[in-house]
């Protein structure tokens, strides 16, 4: 645990993220709980606690390098959260966040609920349903300040599954890899249809790894047309 703590402290310092000792302990406990549950539930592709810490948690915290993103007191939605990344690390780092996690798989939702209790995190809702369905609920549609997704799919699909939840002027941020610029170019029609635009596309080094993550920041400019998102499965099969 001391090794992980040292890695985490150095890594978050490189990203300019300040945390209390209690927040550090919560983050490391989350890493441990996710690693333990992953053996039977297949929650993430990360195989070790160090991989979860560096490529999951620290990668999540790269969002704090975007100057246009303000998390304090905001309402954040994490779509297709799986084992809780990036939503839970962001909530631990910014406790005033009002976080909603969407995950369609029941066993993953059960893990999220038990983990949130173990971490003592309040102000978090877990919704076990498809995003395509939930986005048409008036209590959720166009209600969030911020939305995010990680490893949900291509940018065109991800936009359709997240932007409808944002209020006008709200921001979505996505974690992408080497194909980010290509995905952004291919998503021009989706951006137009969903009434949003890319504000920032920035590469950020992941501490202790050679690869970089590319953050795409999208602003919602007008209400999402009512047909979107389309029926469950259609955004993936026929992306905009």
Q: Is 80 annotated as a binding residue?
A: yes
* Alpha-helical segments (H) within the chain: 2-14, 21-41, 49-51, 59-61, 87-93, 106-119, 131-134, 155-162, 180-186, 188-193, 234-237
- Greatest Cα-to-Cα distance within the chain, rounded to the nearest angstrom: 51
Q: Is 104 annotated as a binding residue?
A: yes
Asked whether 103 and 130 are in contact (CB, 8 A), the reply is no
If phi > 0 it is left, if psi is from -120 to 50 it is alpha, else beta; for residue 228 that is beta
Taking alpha carbons only, the member of 139, 140, 119, 118 closest to residue 131 is 140
CB neighbour class for 55 (10 Å; exposed up to 12, middle 13-18, buried from 19): buried
Chain CA centroid to CA 115, Å:
17
CA torsion, points 173, 175, 178, 180, in degrees to nearest 10? -20
Residue that has been written with the tokens 């919560």 in this structure = 26
**Contact assessment for residue 8 and residue 24, using Cβ atoms and an 8 Å cutoff:** yes
132 carries a ligand binding annotation: yes
Q: Are 237 and 190 in contact (CB under 8 A)?
A: no
Three-class secondary structure of residue 217 per DSSP:
strand
Q: Establish whether 151 is an annotated binding residue.
A: no
Ligand-binding site membership of 180 (annotated): no
- List, as residue ranges, the binding site for S-adenosyl-L-methionine: 80, 103-105, 131-132, 150
- List, as residue ranges, the binding site: 80, 103-105, 131-132, 150
């Amino acid at each position: 645990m001391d090794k992980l703590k040292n890695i985490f402290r150095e890594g978050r310092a490189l990203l300019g993220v300040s945390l209390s000792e209690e927040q550090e302990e919560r983050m490391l406990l989350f890493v441990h709980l996710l690693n333990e549950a992953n053996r039977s539930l297949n929650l993430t592709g990360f195989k070790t606690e160090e991989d979860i810490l560096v490529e999951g948690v620290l990668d999540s915290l790269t969002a704090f390098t975007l100057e246009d993103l303000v998390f304090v007191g905001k309402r954040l939605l994490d779509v297709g959260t799986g084992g809780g990344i990036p939503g839970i690390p962001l909530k631990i780092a910014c406790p005033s966040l009002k976080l909603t996690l969407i995950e369609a798989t029941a066993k993953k939702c059960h893990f999220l609920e038990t983990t949130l209790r173990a971490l003592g995190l309040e102000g978090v809702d877990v919704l076990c349903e498809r995003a395509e369905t939930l986005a048409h609920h008036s209590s959720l549609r166009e209600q969030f300040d911020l939305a995010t997704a990680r490893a949900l799919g291509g940018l065109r699909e991800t936009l359709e599954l997240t932007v409808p939840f944002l209020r006008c002027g709200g921001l979505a941020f996505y974690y992408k890899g080497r194909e980010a610029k290509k995905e952004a170019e291919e998503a021009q029609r989706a951006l137009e249809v969903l009434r949003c635009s890319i504000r920032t596309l920035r590469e950020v080094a992941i501490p202790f790894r050679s690869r970089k993550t590319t953050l795409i920041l999208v602003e919602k400019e007008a209400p999402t047309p009512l047909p979107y998102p389309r029926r469950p499965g259609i955004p993936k099969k026929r992306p905009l």
